[in-house]
Structure 1
Amino acid sequence: MKTEQVKELLKRYNDGQASVKEADAVNDWVEQELEQTSWNKSEEDKVAFGIALKLKIDAQINLGSEKEASGTNSLKVTRFRMISAIAAAIAIVLLGTIVFWRMRNEDASRRYANDIAPGKNTAVLKLANGQKINLDERNGTLDTLNGIKIEKAANGVVVFTILDRNADASNQKNTIETPAGGQHQVVLADGTKVWLNAASSLTFPGEFGGQQKRIVSLTGEAYFEVTKDKTHPFLVETAKQEVEVLGTHFNINAYSNEDNIKTTLLEGSVQVSASGQHEVLSPNQQSVFRNNALQVSEIDPALAIDWKNGEFRFKDEPLESILRKLSRWYGVRFVSELDENNTPSFTGSVSRFDNISSVLTMLEETGNIRFFIKNKIITVK
């Protein structure tokens, strides 16, 4: 296509007089310009670059029209100059924005060069006979102890099943432990389902037998779906509190490096006891034990079990709390260079199974902070 034909086509496009075929020809030309640029662009970059290119075209058309009109109408000349200047200025701003985001993305790529994968289902099962089983390495039947079959099902869940009800395994303590960067699920002999979060452990008997209470011990965080048994309450012991239930769904967060213990009820009823204080929770309530005081409030339970549902969900959550969660799940250590008296809070959500860079990017986009990854140490500035 000759230069004059191109100019005429662009002018008709700009004036809104181009046919569908002519408009397609202009769009194809713009696409070719995008393909010929020397750096890779995101979809947002391409849209912005296309707009900038269109404005540049408009400016060139107006300048050409200015020359045509210069000998006949000075008012038109002034108008064309004004339009051209505005179009060119907007194009410069848009192109500058593209360059800024390009540099920012390149900076993030450099800082996240040592990206870290998310945690996974991994744990160690310590049986009452002293045997330690790495659950990553075993499938199917793991052992049979005192009438209790222990197996890792096809879905990865560890299941304790009573084979001989005359055998007594109530005094045989077993422990399942998840490392930083791990999580796991176990089904106890009474059918109770337990999901363990990262860096957590649960100690429980092979079966509850004739015990008056079904007692388990927890460190870290776990979500429970307790099988109903009105004659045998289910009791979860942590370092500083106890939670007693008959049959219900609830979450306990009792990490030693947190300054509180949170118990969140989703279904049924639980009694929380700590330092001589007792509170009965209703669904959608959470108790917080801090500084020897037990307090209850209404809460969106989805925020408490985000980890079980494969998410990180934050609502006005302090950065320090978020970093502790990330540290446990990704197995990393954070070093903060921020002012301890002026750290931000965040609201948002992101998949728990993305690389850590996805979470850090979300935090960077909502706050004036930057993260730098080096091996398993992440510096916050």
Structure 2
Amino acid sequence: MATDSQHIIYLLGRYSSGQATSNEVDQLLTLLRTEDHDETVVSFIENQLTTFEPNNAEDIAFWKNRLKGGAQQITGVAIDSNDTPVVEISELVRPVHRVHFLRKWGWAAASIILALSLGVYLLTTNTKRTLPPANVVQAADIAPGKNGAVLTLADGSKVVLDSLGNGVVASQNGAQVVLKGGSLAYDPNGSTNGEVAYNTMSTPKGRQFQVTLPDGTKVWLNAASSLRYPTAFTGTERKVTVTGEAYFEVAHNARMPFVVNVIDKEEVTVLGTHFNINAYENEKAIHTTLLQGSVRISSRQWAVGSGEEAKGEQSVMLKPGEQVSLSQSSQLSHPIPVQTDEVIAWKNGLFNFEGASLSEIMRQLERWYDIEVSYEKGIPDVEFEGKMTRDVPLSDLLTMLEKSDIHFKIEGRKLIVLP
């Protein structure tokens, strides 16, 4: 009689070849959910990787379509422009056993791993099968965030951009503000005469948005963030103010530096570059990360208890791939190397959980799903790894987090972490 391991290898072979019946898929799911068969699965995959060779372009296209049409829709795994999975195949909880794929045969293995390890779904003969989450107690699911923002014009009037169609949103100083394709753009030919007018773009919880400033600089705002800027840049610098989190692609202008004031705690000065600022007030520090070009970060140190008297100014230059942090006590750290794709995962539609504690993850969820998180009996001490799409209902994401034996309950817009 075949052992469970032998039977799993048989079922994996049937599934990977697209021949598994619905009954065989059910058997495979039951075995993998009730027992620890990691070694068996890894052994099967290693064997597949050493023997798999696509015979022709149709074979390659088959595996690509199987992954894109199945795993991307079902597990939310992002696929980049080079047909490469953005999400690394990994467990969510340490210790992590990563499986790295070579491009030639990665699609065959990835289709198996993504379907069996990352999700609670399997595809077979174009049928989507769903296993309901076992431990997420909920009354109604909560949808993910989406594009949307509130634009406050110079006269104080507010425009809610969520439901507007493409077209002119406002006209200020002779320049038009145009909404197109889910982003806002300012006419670069607006008048620079007279008093400078300021607009503020604000994203509530559960919203994100992108704006192109009059100089051509592009800014992406994460949830619960804001950007204040002039409708036309004049003088010797281009100065804006940001709260929350924003990613900048600054248009180059050597004669007029671009300056970002971060909640009156630090300034980032650039000529033309790409960088990210994370400055949420409920986080431990302000993090500035450089992707391209160069930036100078400066911060004033204040005398303890002075309220007004400055002790001096700190200044740090960043190179691409580096990050600097400003602590709550206004101390600038030394630059450190970071994985920039992890820092801007939010801009690319992903949650980044690399090395994150549960409380850090919950703060991300509060902002994106517009929820309140509470802990029934303290905050569990667990660290996570991996990435996951932000474009999924809350319950789907919680199902993944429950692999760490943490449980949740949803009551209205309140998420309760259970022991």
State whether TM-score is above 0.5: yes
- Higher relative helix content: 1
- 2:392 is matched with 354
**Any conservation in 1 of the 2:147–2:207 contact (CA below 8 Å)?**
yes
Superimposed CA distance per residue, residues 231-289 of structure 1 (whole angstroms, 9 cap, x where no aligned partner): 10000001211111000000000111112000000000000111221100000000111
Please name the residue that 2:401 is paired with: 363
286, 297, 304: which one pairs with 2:336? 297
TM-score if structure 2 supplies the norm length?
A: 0.65
Contact 2:257–2:270 (8 Å) recurs in 1:
yes
CA offsets 1:317-351 (integer angstroms, 9 cap, x no match): 111111101100000111113444x5211101110
Q: Report the Cα distance in structure 2 between the residues aligned to 1:48 and 1:312, rounded to whole angstroms.
A: 25
Unaligned ranges ≥5, structure 2: 2-18, 35-119, 121-130, 301-312
**1:336 is the counterpart of 2:362:** no
Q: 1:39-78 deviations in whole A, cap 9, x for unaligned?
A: x9486138899xxxxxxxxxxxxxxxxxxxxxxxxxxxxx
Going from structure 1 to structure 2, the CA distance change for 1:138 and 1:281 (only over 3 Å counts) comes to: same
Structure 1 residue runs of 5 or longer lacking an equivalent are: 1-9, 11-27, 50-100
Which residue, out of 337, 351, 359, partners 1:312? 351
How large is the RMSD of aligned CA atoms in angstroms? 2.6
TM-score by length of 1: 0.71
Task: Answer whether contact 2:188 2:216 (CA < 8 A) is retained.
Answer: no
Number of residue pairs aligned between Structure 1 and Structure 2:
290
- Of the candidates 168, 177, 188, which is equivalent to residue 150 of structure 1? 177
* Residue in 2 that maps onto 1:94: none
SS in 2 for 1:242: strand
The CA distance in 1 between the partners of 2:337 and 2:21, in whole Å, is 54
Please give the secondary structure, in 2, of the residue aligned with 1:303: helix
Q: What per-residue deviation string (whole Å, max 9, x for no partner) do you get for residues 283-327 of structure 1?
A: 000011113221121100111101000001221111111110110
Distance 2:27 2:225 in 1: 40
SS in 1 for 2:193: coil
1:225 aligns with 2:221: no
- Structure 2 contact 136–399 (Cα < 8 Å) conserved: no
**Counterpart contact for 2:136–2:407, Cα < 8 Å:** no
Mapping of residues 231-310 of structure 1, within 5 Å: 231-239=255-263, 240-275=265-300, 276-290=313-327, 291-295=329-333, 296-310=335-349
- In structure 2, how many angstroms separate the alpha carbons of the residues matched to 1:47 and 1:289? 45
Which residue of structure 2 aligns with residue 129 of structure 1?
155
- Matched ranges for 1:50-129 at <5 A: 108=134, 111-129=137-155
Percent identity for Structure 1 against Structure 2 = 41
Question: Is 1:160 matched up with 2:186?
Answer: yes
Q: Distance in 2 between matches of 1:299 and 1:136?
A: 34
Query: 1:261–1:288: 8 Å Cα contact kept in structure 2?
Result: yes
Higher relative contact order (Cα pairs below 8 Å, separated by 6+ residues):
2
C-alpha change, 1:106 and 1:302, in structure 2 (3 Å) is closer
